[in-house]
Amino acid sequence: MSNGAAPVIETSGLSKTWRSGIFRRTRFQALNNVTLQVPQGTIYGLLGPNGAGKTTLIKILLGIISRTAGTASVLGHPAGSMAARRQIGYLPENHRLPRHLSANTALEYYGSLSGMTMSQIRAARPLLLEQVGLKGRERERVSGYSKGMLQRLGLAQAMLHKPRLIVLDEPTDGVDPVGRREIRDVLRQLAAEGHTIFLNSHLLQEIELICTQVAILNKGQLLRTGTVQELTKAIKGAPLQLQLFGDRPSIEQVLAGWPAATLREAAPGACEIEVPITEQQDADRLIDALRARGVSIFRMARRERTLEEVFMTIVGEASR
């Protein structure tokens, strides 16, 4: 928890069961006993494969659907209450804007729905549109906007009333690499100002670059929470990387005893190998074998796992 502050989002034993069929006898557990806390000022990433329950969780927090069991609060208020919803900005996935609106009039429309006066909207609008990269395009109809521009405008409307919590569903979908970086910068600035960002994205690299904490959902269950670094350290078997100088056939002969190893050319006369080793005695055995054949070891290090590797490992273990 940051500075001892109460969590912005808190759930305990949160569950959601859908019923379907003619007599509603078929049950589907969309969420199962999900307990998490989202501290103030964090950029919190929600990860999971399709059908994991991410959208269900977001909709419960926003009050769009009701829970079956457990509790959920947002900013100290029951999830879905008017007191909570007034302090939330939301960008849904595949959001749609009336095509006749411009960026200026769209913000006027959404700002008025949030209870802002026209003078408040017009005062905030120029800086906001500049932040999301739409300065100079504010008078154009959104019917001519690219998908990336629509995402930028959607982010602007979510930020307009200066909410304490901003919930984003695939915020960089359709945005080019430059635009994604600009949006990351905006989100970091918002977090630095004390806003809390809760986002869902399929782009794991984006999550890794921006999120201070993450949660992994799968089949309605919360598998892990923590920082990317904490999750990475929790997964054993980070590959060992070595840069070698020596006779390639000799190196290949050593690697014959390590079928999971990979080898590639590096600098002239050098190559790099990567071996999934977990025990120190195995690393010692590999090094001894290489040195016995006259191979020089120029560099050796553990390769840090990517968030994608961690995600696939955790979800894969849970599915066994």
Residue 302: closest CA among 281, 283, 318: 283
pTM metric for this prediction:
0.80
CA distances from 181 to 11, 33, 171, 174 (A): 31, 35, 12, 13
**Calpha distance 99→101 (Å, rounded):** 6
Please list, in sequence order, all residues whose beta carbon lies within 8 angstroms of the beta carbon of residue 198, skipping any fewer than 6 positions away: 8, 9, 38, 44, 46, 58, 61, 165, 166, 167, 168
Q: What is the pLDDT of residue 3?
A: 53
* pLDDT value of residue 246: 87
- The sign of the dihedral angle between the CA atoms of 222, 158, 101, 202 is negative
Q: Give the helix ranges, DSSP H, for 193-267.
A: 204-210, 228-234, 248-255
Residue 122 has φ and ψ, to the nearest 5°, of -70, -25
Tens-level pLDDT at each residue, the chain (320 residues): 445 578 999 999 999 998 876 666 778 899 999 999 999 999 999 999 888 999 999 999 999 999 999 999 999 999 999 999 999 999 998 888 889 999 999 999 999 998 999 999 999 999 999 989 899 999 999 999 988 899 899 999 999 999 999 999 888 877 888 888 888 888 998 999 999 999 998 888 888 899 999 999 999 999 999 998 888 776 666 688 899 998 888 999 999 888 888 998 877 778 999 988 777 888 899 999 999 999 999 888 877 778 888 888 888 887 77
Our CA dihedral for 231, 237, 241, 244, rounded to 10 degrees, sits at 170
Can you name the CATH fold of 236-304? Answer: Alpha-Beta Plaits (3.30.70)
pLDDT at 173: 78
Which residue, among 87, 91, 85, 99, has the nearest Cα to 153 in the 3D structure?
Answer: 91
Q: What is the DSSP letter of 303?
A: P
Contact criterion met (CB below 8 Å) for 302 and 241: yes
Q: Which amino acid is at 157?
A: Q
- The C-alpha angle 249, 252, 258, rounded to 5 degrees, equals 165
For residues 54 and 219, is the Cβ–Cβ distance under 8 A? no
Rounded-to-integer distance, Cα 15 and Cα 241, Å:
43
The structure tokens listed for 277 are 């080793």
CB–CB of 27/19 below 8 Å? yes
Is residue 158 within 8 Å of residue 95, measured between CB atoms?
A: no
**β-strands 270-275, 262-265 pairing:** antiparallel
Q: Phi-psi bin for 38: left (phi > 0), alpha (psi -120 to 50), beta? A: beta
Supply the pLDDT for residue 1.
42
Q: Where are the domains of the chain?
A: 2-227, 236-304
Helix ranges, the chain (H): 54-62, 82-85, 103-113, 118-131, 147-159, 177-192, 204-210, 228-234, 248-255, 280-292, 307-319
Six token digits for residue 91: 């960008």
DSSP 254: H
pLDDT at position 2: 46
CA dihedral 229, 235, 236, 241 (to 10 degrees): -50
- Domain 2-227 is in which class? alpha beta
